[in-house]
């Protein structure tokens, strides 16, 4: 038997004893080291089950209770007989997307847009918040020697940020607006800086998060409770507005401001998962020929790009880690801390098998 933190329902997560998974063909057994608590986990805890299946998932065939943890690093402890390119003892980051490989999106290489997609740590196949987990070989990315296991657990949220920039029309010299100073917004700022962005404008209301925005490379940090965001962005951008915007906040007032702060024919990229329906002021899009696009998670290769950027030093995300806790502290010192003391924390990691 092994310990695992599992979601049983709204406000109900438990440290359970469950069976140790066995490693089969095409699979790799990993001993998780550090696991990040994600905003998605918090949404499930507060109002779920939403993404976590209450009926059998079409791919995993599993439903609640399910093991949590989709942002994690670990050590390989066993490989399937047909896996020849992964070795015991390798330090790895796990790419958690579950996809069927047969739908139209998957055939186009868009595994993040799979018709039946899910996540290890949300939809079945175990999760990082367990003493052992078995994942497909394709989910395994080796962590470079110069990168710590703690930082390796940040690969997933940073890959979300990296992919959002890839999907945008960003080009050299563009001026960029970033809304939201949570882990994804801070990740976007870091990835923009690593990729040479010269003017990054960031907006958040939290004093601590504004400090993090400055630390990670924002050139201008605004507060929507004190600044006229539209006027200030236009002023910074020579009167025309930002070329590209990234919304990692997901609040209506921010969306309204961001659309007006983007220049004619500019693009606003939505990364946020919205808790309730949003309204688009279509005339703000139509009469300035602006574009509004969505992005979700990451595609094959994004993990490698992020890990290489960390190894090279162009990404230095370790200050995002604001607390490290144990498995038996997940609810009190993890979930509740992020909900009740969110101004104090960015990323809380759970130490499983250090």
CA gap 227, 97 in Å, rounded: 39
CA gap 236, 317 in Å, rounded: 27
Nearest to 317 by CA among 188, 139, 165, 167: 188
Per-residue pLDDT, 275: 81
Per-residue pLDDT, 354: 73
Structure tokens given for 132: 């052992």
Length of the chain: 354
CA distances from 203 to 18, 110, 127, 245, 247 (A): 44, 31, 33, 11, 10
CA gap 156, 119 in Å, rounded: 12
Per-residue pLDDT, 79: 97
Which residue matches tokens 């550090």?
34
Spell out, as residue ranges, where the chain has pLDDT lower than 70: none
Per-residue pLDDT, 289: 98
What's the half-sphere exposure (Cβ side, CA atoms, 13 Å) at 73?
A: 25
Are the C-beta atoms of 317 and 310 separated by less than 8 Å?
yes
The region, left, alpha or beta by phi > 0 then psi within -120 to 50, assigned to residue 26 is: left
CA gap 53, 46 in Å, rounded: 15
pLDDT, tens digit, for every residue of 104-152?
999 999 999 999 999 999 999 999 999 999 999 999 999 999 999 999 9
CA gap 314, 197 in Å, rounded: 12
């Amino acid at each position: 038997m092994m310990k695992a933190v599992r979601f049983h329902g709204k406000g109900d997560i438990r440290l359970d004893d469950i069976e140790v998974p066995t490693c089969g063909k095409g699979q790799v057994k990993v001993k998780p080291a550090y696991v990040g608590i994600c905003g998605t986990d918090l949404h499930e805890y507060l109002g779920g089950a939403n993404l976590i299946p209450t009926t059998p998932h079409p791919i995993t065939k599993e439903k609640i209770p399910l093991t949590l943890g989709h942002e994690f690093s670990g050590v390989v402890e066993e490989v399937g007989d047909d896996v020849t390119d992964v070795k015991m003892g390798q330090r790895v980051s796990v790419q958690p997307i579950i996809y069927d490989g047969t739908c139209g999106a998957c055939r186009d290489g868009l595994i993040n847009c799979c018709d039946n997609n899910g996540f290890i740590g949300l939809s079945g196949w175990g999760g990082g918040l367990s003493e052992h987990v078995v994942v497909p070989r394709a989910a395994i990315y080796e962590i470079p020697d110069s990168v710590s296991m703690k930082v390796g657990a940040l690969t997933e949220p940073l890959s979300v940020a990296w992919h959002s920039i890839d999907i945008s029309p960003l080009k050299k010299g563009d001026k960029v607006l970033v809304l939201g100073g949570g882990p994804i917004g801070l990740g976007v700022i870091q990835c923009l800086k690593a990729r040479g962005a010269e003017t990054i404008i960031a907006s958040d209301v939290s004093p601590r998060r504004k400090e993090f925005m400055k630390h990670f490379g924002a050139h201008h940090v605004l507060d929507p409770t004190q600044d006229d965001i539209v006027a200030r962005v236009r002023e910074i951008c020579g009167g025309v507005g930002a070329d590209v915007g990234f919304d990692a906040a997901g609040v209506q007032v921010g969306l309204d401001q961001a659309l007006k702060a983007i220049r004619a024919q500019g693009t606003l990229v939505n990364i946020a998962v919205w808790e309730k329906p949003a309204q688009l002021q279509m005339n703000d899009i139509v009469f300035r020929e602006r574009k509004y696009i969505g992005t979700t998670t990451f595609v094959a290769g994004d993990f490698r790009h992020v890990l290489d950027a960390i190894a090279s030093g162009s990404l230095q995300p370790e200050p995002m880690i604001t607390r490290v806790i144990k498995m038996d502290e997940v609810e009190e010192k993890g979930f509740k801390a992020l909900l009740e003391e969110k101004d104090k924390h960015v990323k809380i990691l759970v130490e499983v098998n250090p």
